[in-house]
Amino acid sequence: MPEPFAKSDFGPHFVWGISTASFQTEGAHDKDGKGHSIWDVFSTQKGAIANNHTAKIACDFYHKYQEDIRLLKAMNIPHFRFSLSWSRILPQGTGKINKRGVSFYNKVIDCCLQHGITPWVTLYHWDLPHTLQLKGGWTNREILEWFGQYAEVCATLFGDRVKHWMVMNEPMVFTGAGYFLGVHAPGKKGMRHFLPAVHHAQLCQAIGGRILRNSVAGASIGTTYSCSFIEPKNTSKRHKKAALRVDALLNRMFLEPVLGLGYPIEDLPVLNRLQPYIQPTDMRDSCFDFDFIGIQNYTREIVRHSCLVPYVGARLIPAPQRGVATTLMDWEVFPPSIYEMIKKYNGYKNIPRILITENGSAFPDKVQQGRVEDAARTAYLQDHLAQVLRAKQEGLSVHGYFVWTFTDNFEWAEGYHPRFGLVHVDFDTQKRIIKRSGQWYASFLGQ
Ligand code: NOJ
């Protein structure tokens, strides 16, 4: 079935790209002077990752970057979002720069530029240097200093060629999963870890933004947020209030302080507990006028009131229990969610530009006669793009779309089982096969 829209419907300046992250793709975990990150340590602990997978090799992007960037070119993808590994550049987190790590990113950036591909760089996509975690990681206020140094080093080293920057990737996820639930690195649990981690990550968004603005001439600076359309189980008052609390937690907690609105304490009173960590000028210092905000959307959530869940008094009703279509992650396939999130974030006065910096899906792919016929992924992408276009046609700010992700990669606690790529990877041989969805995206972009 032909898709109901053309690339030109999005206008000539719409940014089309694809997103990846250092830890999920690079491998070469101890190569050329790289220090360990919290994910190197966490993912080698028995039982931490499904099937005890590790990312020691991952997609071996460290060695295959030239081939992969050529593949991006062949797929007509003009913008490539990737992240820098802090511990490859500063093995101890601060102090001495690892020249060989820097040289790797110089080669990646130069290779993109040689192929006419624009690099979009995320400073922090969850792989904190392990040495910093030994000092408390995100719970230690000294991270303001450490992160500032790291941002400065990256801006100085790469800012001559990289003009599109994102400070952070999904701070709600790395603080929630890593410092509250303990299911992501560094595996910490409870409010005493979560609250300081949240506040320090909050401040670092703005610190990173200011450093990039001062050090990189002509930079466009953003940061990215995970977000899902939240709906109550039904219209009863308690479910609606529960949905409001979850929305404040998942969709607003990191964004609103940046915009000068403070933490959404009124709707989520437990955030009052952040007070002990907030110093007098912190809320002012949390503000930064980003050039763009990246929305990362995959699904929607249905919420019900629950006295059994501490702090939020709410729980998410898992999609499989609701009998709806899901991806391999058990996330509901609900394309209007992306439209609703674009609309919601457009409701804030001072967000100048919104881009979709991630959207994609994992489905059970099969290689058959050298091909991957992943019709469900193509449909997912087309249906979400139709909703992005709907937002755009209503005059909402949305200026770009990046698919998650390029090659199948290490999906954090789920290991290699969920495949999100437009390109299939055989992790034994590192052979790449462009899936049918990748062929579709390539021909769509080639229009
Ligand atoms: C968001 C994260 O940024 C990315 O690292 C992850 O793989 C995708 N979501 C899919 O879960």
170, 301, 332, 411: the catalytic one is 170
pLDDT, tens digit (0-9, with 9 covering 90-100), for 162-172 = 999 999 999 99
Phi (first) and psi of residue 290, to 5 degrees: -60, 150
Quote the CA–CA distance of 354 and 415 in Å, as a whole number. Answer: 30
Q: What are the structure tokens assigned to 310, written together?
A: 């501490």
d(CA 442, CA 201): 36
Q: Are 109 and 158 in contact (CB under 8 A)?
A: yes
> What does the pLDDT average to over 278-286?
98
Ligand 1 centroid vs 444 CA: distance in angstroms? 24
Report the distance separating Cα 91 and Cα 349, nearest Å.
Answer: 40
User: If you measure from the C-alpha of residue 422 to the centroid of ligand 1, how many angstroms do you get, rounded to a whole number?
Assistant: 14
Residue nearest to atom 11 of ligand 1 (CA): 411
Judged against a pLDDT cut of 80, whether residue 227 lies above it is answered with yes
Q: How confident is the model at residue 4 (pLDDT cuts 50, 70, 90)?
A: confident
Is the confidence at residue 289, as pLDDT, over 90?
yes
The helix/strand/coil state of 37 is strand
Choose which residue among 170, 254, 330, 409 to substitute to test ligand 1 binding: the one with the highest number of ligand atoms within 8 A of its C-beta: 170
Q: What HEC string does 269-317 produce?
A: HHHHHHHHHCCCCHHHHCCCCCCEEEEECCCEEEEEECCCCCCCCEEEC
Distance CA 415, CA 136 (A): 26
Q: What six digits make up the tokens of 318? A: 């898992």
Ligand 1 center to residue 404 CA distance, Å?
A: 7
Average pLDDT over residues 38-48: 98
Output the ligand 1 site: residues, CB below 6 A.
21, 24, 169-170, 296, 358, 404, 411, 420
| Type of residue at 276 | P
Pocket test for ligand 1, best of 408, 409, 411 (most atoms within 8 A of CB): 411
Q: Tens digit of pLDDT for each residue in 399-440? A: 999 999 999 999 999 999 999 999 999 999 999 999 999 999
User: Residue with the nearest Cα to atom 6 of ligand 1?
Assistant: 411
Instruction: Name residue 79's beta-bridge partners.
Output: 17, 118
Q: Which of 3-12, 58-67, 433-442 has the lowest mean pLDDT?
A: 3-12
Q: What is the pLDDT of residues 436-447, one digit of tens each?
A: 999 999 999 999
Confidence of residue 342 (pLDDT cuts 50, 70, 90): very high
What residue's CA is closest to ligand 1, atom 7?
411
Residue 436, pLDDT score = 98
pLDDT tens track for 181-224: 999 999 999 999 999 999 999 999 999 999 999 999 999 999 99
In words, the CATH class of domain 7-445 is alpha beta
Residue 2 has pLDDT above 70, yes or no: no
pLDDT in tens, 92-104: 999 999 999 999 9
- Would you kindly state where each structural domain of the chain is located, as residue ranges? 7-445
Q: What number is the average pLDDT over the span 226-241?
A: 98
pLDDT digits (tens, 9 = 90+) for 309-341: 999 999 999 999 999 999 999 999 999 999 999
Residue 1 has pLDDT above 60, yes or no: no
pLDDT on residue 248: 98
Element (H, E) at 267: none
Least confident of 1-10, 244-253, 274-283, 403-412: 1-10
- From 22, 404, 414, the mutation candidate for ligand 1 (largest count of ligand atoms within 8 A of CB) is 404
Indicate left, alpha or beta for 103 from its phi (over 0: left) and psi (-120 to 50: alpha): alpha
pLDDT tens per residue, range 258-269: 999 999 999 999
Can you give the pLDDT at residue 423?
99
In the structure encoding, which two tokens stand for residue 297, read together?
């959307």
Residue 3's pLDDT is what? 72
364-412 tens-digit pLDDT: 999 999 999 999 999 999 999 999 999 999 999 999 999 999 999 999 9
394 is catalytic: no
Choosing from 231, 332, 358, 411, the catalytic residue is 358
pTM over 0.85: yes
Q: How far apart are CA 194 and CA 310, in angstroms?
A: 14
Compute CA distances 348 → 202, 240, 262, 341, whole Å. Answer: 18, 21, 13, 12
Distance 242 CA to ligand 1 centre (A): 25
Q: Mean pLDDT across the chain, nearest whole number?
A: 98
Convert the pLDDT of each residue in 130-169 to its tens digit.
999 999 999 999 999 999 999 999 999 999 999 999 999 9
> Measured between alpha carbons, how far apart are the two ends of the chain, in Å?
17
The alpha-carbon radius of gyration of the chain (Å, integer) is: 21
Share of the chain above pLDDT 70, in %: 100
C-alpha 41/C-alpha 114 separation (Å) is 35
Catalytic residue check, 358: yes
